Structures are given as structure tokens and as C-alpha cells.
Structure 1
Amino acid sequence: MSLTLDTYRLLGRSGLRVSPLALGTATFGTEWGWGAEQDDARKLFDTYVERGGNFIDTANTYTNGSSERLLGEFTRDNRESLVLATKYTTQRRQGDPNSGGPHRKSLFASVEASLRQLNTDYLDLLYLHVWDFTTPVEEILRGMDDLVRQGKVLYVAICNTPAWQVSRMQAIADLRGWSPLVALQIEYNLIQRAGERDLIPMARELGLGVIPFSPLAGGVLAGRYSRADLTAAKVADDGTRKGFNIANGDVTERNLAVADVVKEVAAETGHTPGQVGLAWILRNPDVTAPIIGARTPEQLEDNLGALEVDLTAAQLARLDEAGAIELGYPHDLLASDRGRAFNSGDLSVETRS
């Protein structure tokens, strides 16, 4: 069944309506050695919005702040109709111990900087970007709630944090009447599926919308790498996005084998591998909106084509099997006949969602 960018979805346990694909803007600006110049970034933004897209993802330090500054310019005429999501915790000034991290000083300073750069007086969604195991969760949650009460932030969310910590935070927020977390951003794709162990089931149970980043595994699932690149796996990062991914260990025999199955399904459907990789995530009922991070208009058009891909049950099963992981203990035990027998014996118990 085909989707469109204006086939909106609710974000977690909130009433906020967002597009099924979010526009990632870490490619807005060239300060990191790759990315889109201002004119090309404007084309990406305009194309996405003109198709009905409303969910924009950035962070306070993407391309050294250029991402937010460009969005501040691009959203001058339609700010209210967009859902702007940004993040805090990454260090904003080298050598300043309080310019990063999840603590209250960093939180408030980062939000004020983002408001200036985005040329807005409120953020629709604020993520804690990277967990650091140092700041008390009560300090983080209370700081986030204060910003919501002030009207500077409408909803709060979290990324790159262990499931046990997120669930603990959500419980505390609920018990104390503080603003709950409504979204969980994680790396998730056909290659990286560790989120299926705890993070995604936790999000389902606690009302967090799952927002996957790197849905094409840095381009591996889009067919941009071959086995010839395996010999370059230990080469130092050369400043390009491809060089970064190779040096980061994203190009492996296992990952390329998964990409081969994606290519096979793409050939069967008449779509590109990237569109099939995105379509697999879009069909996951636990996922709200994958983040697409195009650098050129052509890449964006290809990504948006994923909304039109219709995968059969057999094709979805092949893709699932290609990238499947072992869930491990205690999940494997609890899902086994032996595990079920502990609680129910030989009884049949019907459950309803």
C-alpha cells in the first residue's frame, strides 16, 4: 500500500502529527567535508515540504551549527506548519566541560543557542542526543519539564541511551507529573537490528515513537559498496562520507550479504535497493518515521520513492531473515516452548493486542 508524506502518523503517546519519513539535515552544510551547499540544501528542503513533509530533524552541532542556521533561514515563512526536532548534549565548545552533556547548564544553554540559530521562539521536539552516565535522571527530566512549562520546548525525547535507563526515566516522569518522553531515536535498519532486543519493545510498551536514523546503513543497503571495498576497510578516514563508513567498519561481508538480498528484492519490484531498504522499515508497525539524509536532490527523490514500494509477505520475510539477529537471553528463553511451559504448562492462553 502506497504512502505519501502527508499520510501523517502520531508521534508516540502524543497527539503530534508527523510525516512517515523525516528529513534529516546533517547534510545541510559542508563543514564536515561532505554535505550540501546552501542552494542545494534549500532544494532538498523545498522538495520535501512541497510533497507534504513536515518533520525536520537536526541537532545543535550538525555541521558545526550550519544545519540549524540554514533551517532558520528556510523556515521563515512556514515555521508553524513544521515539526522541528533538534538535540542537545554534544559539545559545543572544545575545552569547555559544561558546553556538552545532559546536565541542566548544558541543556538550557544549548536550547537558547538552538532557538537563536533556528530563528524561532520554540522547539517542537527536543532530544537528549547521547547518554553519558553522569547526570542524575531527575536533573535531566526536571530541566526538560521546566522548558516545556516555559513554552520553549513542546515535547521531549531521547536518543542513544540504554533501554533500562529510558524506561526508568519514563517511570519517574509519569510518577512525578513531568513531561513524558514521546520519541526514541535509534540506529535501526536491516543490518543494525540490535534495537529489536530491548529498545523497540520498550518503546512500544511505554509509548515512545521509534525514529530510526541511518535507515540505509550509511549507504550499504543502497548498493553503494561492493566487496572491492572490503580491502579498504582498514584505510583511515579520507574526509568523505564513504571513507568514514569504510573506516568505521560498516562494510563487512555480513553486511554486504544482507545488501545482496535487498538488491534481489529491488530487481523483483522494479525499485532501487535504497527504496526497498526504506520500505522494509516503513512497514514496521513499531516505527513512526525513519530519517532520510540526502545530500543531492536525486538522492532525496530516490528516498521518497520508498513510499510507493509495495512488498509482498514473502519478500518481507526474506528481508527479515537476511538481517535477523539472535535476541539472546532472556528473550530466547521466554519465547521458547520451555519458557512458556514455566507459566502456562500445556494450557493455551489467548492474548489480544
Structure 2
Amino acid sequence: MQNRNFSLTRRRLLQQVVALALGFNLNLPRTGWADTSQKILRRIPSNNETVPAIGMGTWLTFGIDPDDASQMRVREKILHTFFELGGELIDSSPMYGSAEEVVGKCLARLDETPDLFAATKVWTSGWRAGVRQMERSRVLWGVERVDLMQVHNLLDWETHLATLKEWKAAGRIRYLGVTTSHGRRHSELARIMETEPLDFVQLTYNLLDREAEQHLLPLAQERGIAVLANRPFQGGGLFSRFASQPLPDWASAIDCENWAQFFLKFIISHPAITCAIPATSKVAHMRENMGAGYGRLPDAKLRRRMSEYVRGL
């Protein structure tokens, strides 16, 4: 995989510098989520590669004017924080306006080559348009090849999936997949999962939107398909509903210091979930999100307690 030859010694030094600037000490024993020995990794079933359980989405948050220097500086800081605190998988799409261009420009401005897992999508109709769009995405990202290419919201999926199979066989992409969002088209997604050789699916899953538990997540486990969870905060709706309420004292048992970590740890503790992809436009929120990728996770009993707690608020 490209961008995996990072110097561990150099990276560790950079992590220390950033951690100190953010108020963490990576050398401390288990007193906070920044203990990198407790980073939560998830296996990609189709080849056993692992990725961190917390990734990053770019819908809305990176769809900014790439010529706005002030906005770009904030996105650069967000990416810097994401990588220094252990992130790898970034998900985008041509549907997200300028997001791919902004990600690519921010990546080019990083001082070091990050451990990037580039995931994007094809979102158009027709073979020729799909090929042009996917190649443009690669150029915008500034990578030699995209790690994961997905058919966005199943648009013309038969056409594009045929192309992706050819590209994967030729080494032009590493993984292929399909996506849905907002909890839609689950029946069609299930049919594709049952009949096609997918590496990944992407679907909506969060503490309140749990329809995927009924069939899609067990099917992903059965078929050996990795799962990206989109809309982990329900488009911000979970914060609107619960952020003013107290975080339960027992949340400390799974190393949760805030609601973002509470929501995300519920998601990634499901055995079928490979990676949750929250999006943010604030550096402080990125730090909170990345905290969910460390420390203890809830077991089945505690997951039920988390669900019951929010239903009672």
C-alpha cells in the first residue's frame, strides 16, 4: 500500500510534539485515551489488513472554497490532528463538492507523508463518465492509486462495479465497495452483498439508527465484508438531542470523556463494524472523535445499557 513507509521513530516524535501541544502525554500509563498501545484496530476481512476503527468523513465539512486561506488552514489543522492521533481512513466523494480537492491540497501541505487510506466514490451514470470521474478523484487526492473505490448510493452500480472489478484485478485500486446513506435501499444493498464480491459496504449506523443490525451487519460478517459506518452522529442530531444531558458516570468504564466518544464507541463495538467515519470542521471535535479510537469498548451488556440510557433521556 502506498504511504505505508513512514518512519516509526520520526512519527513517534511527531506524535509526542502534537500530544504535548494538545495537553496529552503519550508515555503515561492508562490514564487517558492517548495511550497509543490501546489504539483500536479493525481487520478488513478480504485480506486481513487492519485499519483504525475511527476514520474521517468529509461531507459538508471539507466542501469549502479551496481559495479561502483561513478555511484551508483550519482543514489542514484538522487533517494534521487526525493523522497525529492515529487516523488513516478518509472517506470522500465527488458528490461532496470541493471536498476531494480540499483534501488533496491539505495532504500536499503536510510536513510528512501520512499513513493514508484513501476512500472515495464514483457518483455518475455510464461507463465513460465513471472512468473519467474516478481518475479525476485520484488526481485531486494526489495519490498514485485510491485504496477503496465505492459506488455512491448504488448509482448505476452494475456498470461501475464491473469497472471496479477490472481495476482491482489490474492493481488500479486495492478494494471495491458500494454505499448507501440515511438508512435507505437496504433491501437492494443486501441483494448486492449476497451476490457480488465486495470488500466494503458503507451504510448508516448509529445509536438511534440501528436497522442495519437486523440483517445487513450479520450478512457482512457472514460474507466477510468490511463495513464503514456513515452518519455516526445522525448528521449532528445526536448532539442536538443529548449533548445538554449528563454523560453517565459509568461511561468512564469504557474510557469515554464526552458524548462523541460515547456515540462512536457504541458503533465500533459492534463486531461487524470496521470503521466509523465522523466528519467535523473543528480541531477540538477531531480530538474528541479520535479519543474513541483508544481504550476499552463496551461488551454486549454495556451496549444495551448505553441504548437504554439514551432512550430514557
TM-score grouping bracket, smaller chain normalisation? 0.7 to 0.9
**Counterpart in 2 of 1:144?**
164
Q: Hey, what's the Cα distance between the residues in 2 that align with 1:261 and 1:38?
A: 31
TM-score, normalization by structure 2: 0.73
Alignment of 1:215-254 (within 5 A): 215-222=232-239, 225=240
- Cα deviation, 1:308-352, whole Å, max 9, x if unaligned, reads 56466554222234678xxxxxxxxxxxxxxxxxxxxxxxxxxxx
**Counterpart in 2 of 1:82?**
116
Could you tell me which of 229, 235, 248 is aligned with 1:265? Answer: 248
Q: What's the offset of the Cα at 1:218?
A: 1.9
Q: Secondary structure at the match of 1:130?
A: helix
- Asked whether 1:183 is paired with 2:207, we answer no
Alignment of 1:1-353 (within 5 A): 4=36, 7-26=40-59, 27-30=61-64, 37-62=71-96, 64-65=97-98, 67-76=99-108, 81-89=115-123, 100-101=124-125, 103-132=126-155, 135=156, 137=158, 139-160=159-180, 162-170=185-193, 172-173=195-196, 180-222=197-239, 225=240, 256=241, 259=242, 263-265=246-248, 269=252, 271-308=257-294, 310=296, 315-321=302-308
Q: Hey, what's the Cα distance between the residues in 1 that align with 2:286 and 2:303?
A: 23
Q: Hey, what's the Cα distance between the residues in 1 that align with 2:308 and 2:71?
A: 39
Q: Secondary structure at the match of 1:37?
A: helix
* Higher radius of gyration, 1 or 2: 1
Q: Aligned partner of 1:108: which letter?
A: V
Moved more, 263-272 or 108-117: 263-272
Q: Hey, what's the Cα distance between the residues in 1 that align with 2:100 and 2:226?
A: 23
Aligned length, in residue pairs: 265
**Counterpart in 1 of 2:8?**
none
Runs of 5+ unmatched residues, structure 2:
1-29
Moved more, 268-277 or 122-131: 268-277
Q: Aligned partner of 2:81: which letter?
A: T
Q: Secondary structure at the match of 1:13?
A: coil
Q: What's the offset of the Cα at 1:186?
A: 0.8
Q: Aligned partner of 2:248: which letter?
A: V
Report if aligned partners of 1:29, 1:37 keep a CA contact under 8 Å in 2: no
Q: What's the offset of the Cα at 1:265?
A: 2.4
Q: Secondary structure at the match of 1:292?
A: coil
- Cα deviation, 1:157-208, whole Å, max 9, x if unaligned, reads 11117455445445554xxxxxx31111111101111111221121111111
Q: Hey, what's the Cα distance between the residues in 1 that align with 2:271 and 2:157?
A: 33
Report if aligned partners of 1:24, 1:58 keep a CA contact under 8 Å in 2: yes
**Counterpart in 1 of 2:22?**
none
Q: Hey, what's the Cα distance between the residues in 2 that align with 1:136 and 1:87?
A: 11
Report if aligned partners of 2:264, 2:289 keep a CA contact under 8 Å in 1: yes
Report if aligned partners of 1:156, 1:181 keep a CA contact under 8 Å in 2: yes
- Cα deviation, 1:194-226, whole Å, max 9, x if unaligned, reads 11122112111111111111111122323xx2x
- Cα deviation, 1:44-64, whole Å, max 9, x if unaligned, reads 1011111222111111231x1
Q: Secondary structure at the match of 2:208?
A: coil
Q: Structure 1 residues 181, 42: CA separation in 2 closer, same or farther (over 3 Å shift)? A: same
Report if aligned partners of 1:275, 1:309 keep a CA contact under 8 Å in 2: no
Report if aligned partners of 2:40, 2:52 keep a CA contact under 8 Å in 1: yes
Q: Secondary structure at the match of 2:177?
A: strand
Q: What's the offset of the Cα at 1:105?
A: 2.5
Q: What's the offset of the Cα at 1:7?
A: 4.0
Q: Secondary structure at the match of 1:81?
A: coil
Q: Secondary structure at the match of 1:18?
A: strand
- Of structures 1 and 2, the one scoring higher in RCO (CA 8 A, sep 6+) is 2
Q: Structure 1 residues 193, 322: CA separation in 2 closer, same or farther (over 3 Å shift)? A: farther
Runs of 5+ unmatched residues, structure 1:
90-99, 174-179, 226-255, 325-353
Report if aligned partners of 1:7, 1:20 keep a CA contact under 8 Å in 2: yes
Report if aligned partners of 2:100, 2:137 keep a CA contact under 8 Å in 1: yes
Q: Hey, what's the Cα distance between the residues in 2 that align with 1:202 and 1:288?
A: 14
Q: Hey, what's the Cα distance between the residues in 1 that align with 2:291 and 2:115?
A: 23
Q: Hey, what's the Cα distance between the residues in 2 that align with 1:267 and 1:261?
A: 17
Report the identity percentage.
23
Q: Hey, what's the Cα distance between the residues in 2 that align with 1:171 and 1:18?
A: 24
